[in-house]
Chain A
Amino acid sequence: MTDGQIVALYWDRDQRAVAESEKAYGAYCRTVAENILHDREDAEECVNDTWLRAWDSIPPQRPDSLKHFLAKVTRNLAFDRWKAASAQKRGGGETALILDELAECVESGADVEKEYAAKELGAAVNRFVSGLPRREGDLFLRRYFYAEPVGEIARRYDMTENAVTTALFRTRKKLKIHLEQEGFLP
């Protein structure tokens, strides 16, 4: 079944939409959730929540790419769960490491911290990734969108872990400069 057909099921309030979504993207969404949560049971619950969220959101939404719509929903839900677990000291691990890496991009010597809307910031990050050479951008996305471990990325691109780490380090430095230039950092 195509994405368009599955979305049509959601719009028709046909419950087969969930089964078809699970069939097409269940494993994919579970991977996204597991990368963040590192717990199979939590990831499973998270994916179930994804179908519920999709059911509530479509309609009115009509995503162009159902796959990435579901991935983003899963990622958000997983991250919320991770933060809750983290507050109870059950978090940590790879996701904490990824956040620490991203912290390098937002650290500022200034005393005044300004808050920005995620959407506004996301648009800036989107411009940044779009302007990167393809491979560099892809590495960035695998790490910071999909939260993949460095070892997994290295296997995916047939690189050494050291080379991946170095490439990501350089990209983070560029992102920080980009955010400064766009006025997100003083």
Chain B
Amino acid sequence: MTKELLFESMEYLDDALLERSEKNKDVIRTRWGKWLAAAACLCLVLAGAYGLPRLLRTGGDPRPVGPFPSGVQGVPPTTTDEDPSATCQVAVHFNPITQPPETANFVALSGRALTGEERSALLPASPEGTWMDDLKALEVNSWVELFGWGEPYQVRLRFRDKEGLRVDLALRDASSPYASYGMFYPVTPEKFLTTQVEGVEVTGYRYTFEETGDTMLWATFERDGVAYWFTALGDADTAKTVQAYIEGMVLWYLSYPVTVDLGAYAN
């Protein structure tokens, strides 16, 4: 077989597939789309002014509150090995850009717990002397989040220590067009982490909310087509510990990237 033959063989592709690639609505997702997204974010920020303090006072529970539609039924158990039927509604994300329009810009995500094997694949093996040693003392929940129409959106690992301090790692397809907007206050970000490993630059940010002194921390980087998002909520007393967790995890996953094929998680 030659590369020329492979190129020529595409003459036999279905017309419907070609038609679909031409009808992609993303084609017109240009500057107007971005402005619409920005406007939508502004609405969300305003909504967050109502919802976020409640969110933080509930101990960092990520479930949407306030004006957001919510069908959240809780986080699934650690793996489906424990409960094979584990499913849940894990979040409702605001998505101003993408379809389907009948959902009026709110895209409900459903989820399921990962199997033990799936979860292990996302936890690189740990030599002694790293933060991963602490994993033995950490509770790890893991699940995949799917859009309402069944397409996987991201896989999430939730690490929680004995004190209940929590760091989430969400793994997404870096090329995914889908935007996810959390409930952010319009605060000035403060850098807490700047590092570079093998050419990948990472910056971590800390937002401190004036009203409560609570903190939101996040760091992100892309590698091999996978976007890594580390996020955590903490109060003034726990921020440093949570920050140390994030720093450790960032460095660990930079050194030991995982393979994520979101398509493999489809229902």
Contact = CB atoms under 8 A, between A and B. Distances in A.
Nearest to B151: A133
A184 to B, nearest CB: 6
Contacts of A144: 7, 10
B11 interface: yes
Interface string B1-34: 1111111111111110111110010110110010
Interface in A105-153: 105-106, 108, 113-116, 118-119, 121-123, 125-126, 129-130, 132-139, 141-142, 144-146
Contact of B6 (A69, A102, A115, A169): A102
A151 B64 CA distance: 38
A71 interface: yes
B21 A118 contact: no
B20 A134 contact: yes
Contacts of B263: 132-133, 136
Contact residues of A: prevailing secondary structure: helix
B1 A126 contact: no
A141 B5 contact: no
Interface size class of B (residues with CB under 8 A): 35 or more
Contact of A113 (B1, B8, B20, B21): B1
B19 A126 contact: no
Given A164-B175, A166-B174, A103 B13 contact: no
Contacts of A167: 173, 175, 225
A72 interface: yes
A182 to B, nearest CB: 12
B177 interface: yes
Contacts of A132: 263
A99 B3 CA distance: 6
Contact of B174 (A105, A139, A163, A185): A163
A58 B151 CA distance: 41
Interface in A29-76: 64-65, 68-69, 71-72, 75-76
Interface in B136-175: 151, 173-175
Interface of A: 64-65, 68-69, 71-72, 75-76, 79, 83, 98-100, 102-103, 105-106, 108, 113-116, 118-119, 121-123, 125-126, 129-130, 132-139, 141-142, 144-146, 156-159, 163-164, 166-167, 169-170, 179, 184-185
27 contacts: A65-B18, A68-B18, A75-B10, A76-B8, A76-B11, A98-B7, A99-B3, A99-B4, A102-B3, A106-B3, A118-B8, A119-B12, A122-B12, A125-B9, A126-B12, A126-B17, A129-B17, A133-B151, A135-B26, A138-B24, A156-B24, A156-B27, A158-B29, A158-B33, A158-B177, A163-B174, A163-B175
Report the 7 A-B pairs with minimum CB-CB distance, sorted nearest first. Answer: A122-B12, A122-B9, A121-B9, A166-B225, A163-B175, A65-B15, A103-B3
